[in-house]
Structure 1
Amino acid sequence: MAIHAVKPYVLSSSMELWDGDKGWECTHKFGVYGMCKLAFNPEDTNSFAATIRHYVEVWSLDSAKPDYTLIEHSDKVKCLAFFKRGDRQYLITGSNDCTAKIWDMQKRMCIHTIEGFMSPVMYVISLPGRPYLVTCSNNDTIHVWSSIDFRLKTTVNFSGSGHVRGIVCLMGSRRVAIGQMSGISIMDIDGEE
């Protein structure tokens, strides 16, 4: 599910738009896909991205079909997150193909592939206002990457403390919360560039 930043909208994982101003009525259905991961574009609040099998579709809220499709992964796309680098908008995606890809949203193309994961990439986030991307693979390994040059900054394995179920950035800080079956861990991301 994705929550719109400025409008009373919720986008469900079945790609249905629910409007709070209309008593949470479903006002639009975007295709007939199964469960997918979604993210509203923070730089263009009229658009969102959705994982559909091994690709990503980018939609406008008023569209009957996707605006365009991003295809590069060879297996199911599991996660996605928007981020900025300079004045440009990017998207990071993680996949069952054991890669994370960086997409230039203006060029509508993959500009970098992060490889070397030992298992599928299940979660990706960016740290707003910080030059970091965080990935988590299925073997519970967290990787912190530079969003400037996409180089690895640090790796932490959480496999001994319960399976990772999600990661989120704690707003206004350089910390991330890692949700696990056994509880929540807090990881402090080094603020030095």
Structure 2
Amino acid sequence: MEDDTGRTLDVAIRQYLEERYPQLAYSFHEAASLSDEPRPDAESVLLKRWRAVLRLQVRISELEEERDRLSEQIEQLQGAFKFRAPPDALPASGASASMVLCGHRGGITAVAFHPTYSLVFTASDDATIKVWDYESDGRLEKTLKGHTDAVNDLHFDTHGHRFASCSSDMSIRLWDSTHMECIQAMRGHDNTVSGVRFVPSGEQLVSCSRDHTLKLWDCETGYCVRTYVGHSDWVRTVDIAPDGKLFASGSNDHNIRVWSLSAPHALHELTEHDHVVEVVAFAPKPTLIQIRDAHAHGQTSKAPPSTAGGVTSTPSRMLTTDTSEGLPSDETSQTGDGGCVGSSMVLFSGSRDKTMRMWDISQQTCLYVFEGHTNWVRGICFHPSGRYVLSCSDDKTIHIYDVNSGYCVRRLDGAKGFVTCVACKHPAPLIAAGALDRELRLWACV
């Protein structure tokens, strides 16, 4: 069959040459030992072969473009190692920000690192989201528009393929973080949407609003699956536990509520803050391990005073001394996805009462009160090592606390306005903070 196809192609070439180069056609005829028997199908063979060549050229071009795109991604991933430092590294005492990035026309309300790429995203009162490449000297990569009022929060799914944003325009938007485009708009709240978080599976997200409710959304359809009612005032903040079964909310009613995704009513209510709760954040697994080990060895509140920004810190108040029963153990704290289960949840909260608190959810008990800020505590995040928790405040500072001792080990200054949000890059420590002065600051850990 292959020999017959080859002979047909030889005849097609000879016919092509006969029209243009008769002498060459005769020489080719003799050299190829072709017969004079006509082949009706020979005329189309050469045309088909040329078309096949053109298709292959197009495919080669597409593959070359894909190769270039993947090479660029590899360079971005390799670039992330520029900021790599020891896992427990912190900025030097009194260190100024490594970068100060400007571009927003309104105060920055939220900041988040991309889980994979060397990108940091900021949300702002100017109704935009900006994307910065911190490996390229803070170059502004993209400005995302779509919301019509202040963007109040943003959050990535586990793999970084998508992120969600929420706004005072009462909407939630789902974005493709590769193509930087909006792929879904969700509406259903009756007032400002102040917080949004993905469930670890990435299939659903939870939002909170000034309409006193929280809502669970299906990311595929954009439909509201469940509404949670219980707070009596503006719900300011929401966070989801590592296992994806529970979530917590903080409100203007001064209370924290802990909910199950599968039930419409709160499981627990934590009431010791005496002002608006601005932020709640579940402790990740590395922090839980640090807390468990500290209690197991009786190390809490025994560390000597340390220097934070040139000022000797004082320890925070430990309210509960016997907490080991409520803290995770090696046998009970781990699930298949590296999360934590029911009775081992530890929650941090920040309030306008100028304190940050650490709670044992299973015991509904406040374990620590972290003190030191002189104004509202607005944001909380965790160091990759698990040893430190960071808080930002309207006192224009960021405090870094040792979760074992309760001491403030660093204080980062420099903002000219209230510091509204803070984030830490995992696994390479890099701290970012946004403020109402419209500037994003980044500190390298050394």
Segment drifting more, 179-188 vs 56-65: 179-188
Relative to total residues, which structure has the larger strand share, 1 or 2? 1
CA pair 130-111 structure 1, distance change in 2 beyond 3 A: closer
Q: CA deviation at 1:158?
A: 2.7
Amino acid at match of 1:110: C
| 2:350 is the alignment partner of 1:151 | no
Distance (whole Å) between structure 1 residues aligned to residue 375 and residue 364 of structure 2? 27
Structure 2 CA distance for aligned equivalents of residues 27 and 126 of structure 1: 30
Letter in 2 for 1:47: L
Aligned to 1:112: 368
Matched, 1:172 2:427: yes
Partner of 1:62: 262
> Do 2:384 and 2:425's aligned partners in 1 also have CA atoms closer than 8 Å?
no
Change (3 A) 1:92 1:13: same
CA deviation profile, 1:132-168 (whole Å, cap 9, x unmatched): 10011112111000122221111112333x4423111
What SS is found at the alignment partner of 1:85?
helix
The 5 A counterparts of 1:24-173 are 24-31=222-229, 33=231, 34-42=234-242, 44-52=243-251, 53-83=253-283, 84-86=287-289, 87=328, 88-160=344-416, 162-173=417-428
Structure-2 separation of matches of 1:189 and 1:81: 22
Q: How far 1:107 sits from its partner (Å)? A: 1.8
| Aligned equivalents of 2:438, 2:229: Cα separation in 1 | 37
Instruction: Output one character per residue of 1:10-37: Cα deviation in whole Å (capped at 9) or x when no partner.
Output: 211231111023x110010001653420
- Cα distance, 1:56–1:32 mapped onto 2, change above 3 Å: closer
| 3-state SS, counterpart of residue 229 of structure 2 | coil
Bigger RCO of structures 1 and 2 (CA < 8 A, at least 6 apart): 2
> Which sits farther off after the overlay, 74-83 or 29-38?
29-38
Paired positions, count: 187
- Structure 2 Cα separation of the partners of residues 116 and 129 of structure 1: 22
Distance apart, 1:189 and its partner CA? 4.4
Q: Deviations over 1:30-72 (max 9, x none)?
A: 0165342000001x31110000221110000111210111111
State the one-letter code of the partner of 2:200: A
**Structure 1 residue runs of 4+, over 4 Å off?**
none
Task: Tell which deviates more after alignment, 165-174 or 32-41.
Answer: 32-41
Distance across 2 between alignment mates of 1:60 and 1:2:
14
Give distance in 2, aligned partners of 1:133 and 1:122: 13
SS at match of 1:101: strand
Shift of 1:129: 3.7
Question: Residue type matched to 2:352 in 1?
Answer: N
Deviation at 1:172, TM superposition (A): 1.0
Q: What is the TM-score when the length of structure 2 is the normalising length?
A: 0.40
Q: TM-score, normalised by structure 1?
A: 0.88
Identity of aligned residues (%): 24
Q: Tell me if 1:3 matches 2:201.
A: no
Q: Alignment partner of 1:79: what SS? A: strand
- 1:177 positional shift: 0.9
Please, which runs of 5 or more residues in structure 2 have no aligned partner?
Answer: 1-195, 290-327, 329-343
Task: Check conservation: 1:139, 1:159, Cα contact below 8 A.
Answer: no
Q: Kindly tell me: are residues 116 and 184 of structure 1, through their superposed partners in 2, closer, same or farther at Cα, counting changes over 3 Å?
A: closer
Which residue in 1 is equivalent to 2:144?
none
